[in-house]
């Protein structure tokens, strides 16, 4: 059965990513789009496109099976909760919520009408990450993970909502770090954190000239913002695994790099690749395993940029049909938003 989808929010992600991929996928039919901007609605629909609405309240469970919500971060929880209470299941990419209160609101809304909230990062659906996951059982007891996503130039629309804490909830930690934390969960399973230490910096977000060239968000605006462009942390999971975390929108590096290194008692595996759509990327992913001073290259399947998002839609179609997934997204989000809160508290302690 074809899943009838509404795309709510026609900014870069809604317009350039989800709307296009959903239209190409056999399991989905885009039946509606929602955005307050009439120009955005007209551009998305064309002369014979789906229904277009200025507000999500126009959607009905009689006509829509799933809403893909791609609104600014501070509207994620409120928009998703409204749709869930109308009986419409929701797919919400990171961040699912910005506070524990928003997580409670989403949980109440999910219970109210029996709809399902689905969430997740596309990064966990990458073929190179799957290859890394397959080698983990050969590493013995996992002791440490080193996770980094560092862009050379990649601040999303300086001066826009992404760089305002009141609307984004944070900077690179909320944007890139959420992906890294979701990736960690996909590799090692869910866990709380018994220790969290973090620091942040904003050397680039105010400087100008460090924006993400591949994003077409219109006027880039002035270099301004009150969020971090870089977050560095050291975490200890409840299972004892230590984690180094770095998320950077901009740096002095030559290329945009995502690096995942997992150390175990019997060896170390390292994946170097580039998450997302940046053209300033590694030519191809590199996965190696090192044991007792000897390093082996592990073959990684080649795939086009963005293939993980199509694979995520494959998974989404299956997940929507499984009632056992109800509540899972919110439980994961509670862990992540709790960790991010503690990270920022460590980075910006309040004087007593």
Tens-place pLDDT, residues 22-45: 999 999 999 999 999 999 999 988
pLDDT given at position 218: 45
Asked whether the predicted pLDDT for residue 224 surpasses 80, the reply is: no
pLDDT given at position 208: 76
Closest listed residue to residue 34, CA positions, set 22, 23, 44, 21: 44
Q: Are 172 and 271 members of one domain?
A: yes
Q: Are 60 and 184 members of one domain?
A: no
Q: What is the mean pLDDT of the chain?
A: 93
Please report whether residue 27 resides in a domain.
yes
Asked whether the predicted pLDDT for residue 219 surpasses 80, the reply is: no
Asked whether the predicted pLDDT for residue 46 surpasses 90, the reply is: no
Asked whether the predicted pLDDT for residue 180 surpasses 60, the reply is: yes
Please report whether residue 107 resides in a domain.
yes
Please report whether residue 318 resides in a domain.
no
pLDDT tens for residues 73-88? 999 999 999 999 999 9
Domain extent, residue 286, equals 123-308+340-347
Report the relative pairing of strands 267-273 and 286-291 from DSSP bridges: antiparallel
User: Which of 118, 142, 173 represents a domain boundary (last residue)?
Assistant: 118
pLDDT given at position 165: 93
Q: Are 72 and 12 members of one domain?
A: yes
> What percent of the chain shows pLDDT beyond 90?
85
Q: Are 141 and 176 members of one domain?
A: yes
Q: How confident is the model at residue 340 (pLDDT cuts 50, 70, 90)?
A: very high
Q: Are 161 and 263 members of one domain?
A: yes
Instruction: Tell me how many domains the chain contains.
Output: 2
Asked whether the predicted pLDDT for residue 221 surpasses 70, the reply is: no
Q: Give the 3-state DSSP-derived string for the chain, with helices as H, strands as E and coil as C.
A: CCEEEEEECCCHHHHHHHHHHHHHCCCEEEEEEECCCHHHHHHHHCCCCCEEECCHHHCCCCCCCEEEECCCHHHHHHHHHHHHHCCCEEEECCCCCCCHHHHHHHHHHHHHHCCCEEECCHHHHCHHHHHHHHHHHHHCCEEEEEEEEECCECECCCCCHHHCHHHHCCCHHHHHHHHHHHHHHHHHCCCCEEEEEEEEECCCCCCCCCECCCCCCCCCCCCCCCCCCEEEEEEEECCCCEEEEEEECECCCCCEEEEEEEEECCEEEEEEECCCCCCCECCCCEEEEEECCEEEEECCCCCCCCHHHHHHHHHHHHHHCCHHHCCHHHHHHHHHHHHHHHHHHHHCCCCC
Q: How confident is the model at residue 345 (pLDDT cuts 50, 70, 90)?
A: very high
Residue 232 vs residues 12, 155, 221, 307: alpha-carbon distances, Å:
27, 17, 27, 29
d(CA 252, CA 130) in angstroms, rounded, equals: 30
Please report whether residue 331 resides in a domain.
no
Q: Are 67 and 131 members of one domain?
A: no
Average pLDDT score over residue span 323-329: 92
Phi then psi for residue 202, to 5 deg, are -135, 45
Asked whether the predicted pLDDT for residue 141 surpasses 80, the reply is: yes
pLDDT given at position 215: 54
The pTM (predicted TM-score) of the whole model is 0.93
CATH number reported for the structural domain that contains residue 104 in this entry? 3.40.50.720
Asked whether the predicted pLDDT for residue 217 surpasses 60, the reply is: no
Q: How confident is the model at residue 225 (pLDDT cuts 50, 70, 90)?
A: confident
Residue 347 vs residues 55, 59, 201, 341, 343: alpha-carbon distances, Å:
38, 41, 9, 10, 6
> What percent of the chain shows pLDDT beyond 70?
95
Q: How confident is the model at residue 223 (pLDDT cuts 50, 70, 90)?
A: low
Asked whether the predicted pLDDT for residue 94 surpasses 80, the reply is: yes
Q: Are 178 and 87 members of one domain?
A: no
Q: Are 61 and 146 members of one domain?
A: no
d(CA 95, CA 34) in angstroms, rounded, equals: 20
More confident residue, 246 or 210: 246
Range in 38-52, 160-174, 289-303 the model is least confident about: 38-52
pLDDT tens for residues 263-301? 999 999 999 999 999 999 999 999 999 999 999 999 998
């Amino acid at each position: 059965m074809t899943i009838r989808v509404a795309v709510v929010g026609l900014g870069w992600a809604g317009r350039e990513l989800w709307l296009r991929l959903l239209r190409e996928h056999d399991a989905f039919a885009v039946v509606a789009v929602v955005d307050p901007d009439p120009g955005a609605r007209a551009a998305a629909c064309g002369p014979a496109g789906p229904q277009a609405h200025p507000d999500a309240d126009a959607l009905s469970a009689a006509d829509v099976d799933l809403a893909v919500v791609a609104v600014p971060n501070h509207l994620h929880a409120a928009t998703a909760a409204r749709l869930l209470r109308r009986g419409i299941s929701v797919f919400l990419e990171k961040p699912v919520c910005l506070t524990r209160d928003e997580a409670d609101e989403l949980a109440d809304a999910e219970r109210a009408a029996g709809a399902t909230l689905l969430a997740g990062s596309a990064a966990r659906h990458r073929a190179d990450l799957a290859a890394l996951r397959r080698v983990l059982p050969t590493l013995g007891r996992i002791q440490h993970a080193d996770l980094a996503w560092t862009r050379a130039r990649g601040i999303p629309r300086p001066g826009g909502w992404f760089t305002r804490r009141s609307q984004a909830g944070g900077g690179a930690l909320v944007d890139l770090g959420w992906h890294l934390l979701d990736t960690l969960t996909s590799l090692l399973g869910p866990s709380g954190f018994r220790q969290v230490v973090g620091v942040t910096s904003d050397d680039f977000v105010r400087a100008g000239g460090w924006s993400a060239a591949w994003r077409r968000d219109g006027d880039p605006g002035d270099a301004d913002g009150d969020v971090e462009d870089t977050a560095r942390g050291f975490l200890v999971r409840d299972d004892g695994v230590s984690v180094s975390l770095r998320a950077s929108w901009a740096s002095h590096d030559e290329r945009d790099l995502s690096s995942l290194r997992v150390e175990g008692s019997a060896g170390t595996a390292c994946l170097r690749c580039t998450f997302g759509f940046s053209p300033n990327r590694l030519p191809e992913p590199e996965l190696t395993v090192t044991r007792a001073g000897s390093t082996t290259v592990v073959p990684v399947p080649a795939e086009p940029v963005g293939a993980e998002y199509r694979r995520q839609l494959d998974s989404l179609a299956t997940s929507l049909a499984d009632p056992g997934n109800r509540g899972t997204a919110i439980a994961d989000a509670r862990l992540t938003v709790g960790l991010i809160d503690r990270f920022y508290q460590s980075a910006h302690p309040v004087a007593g």
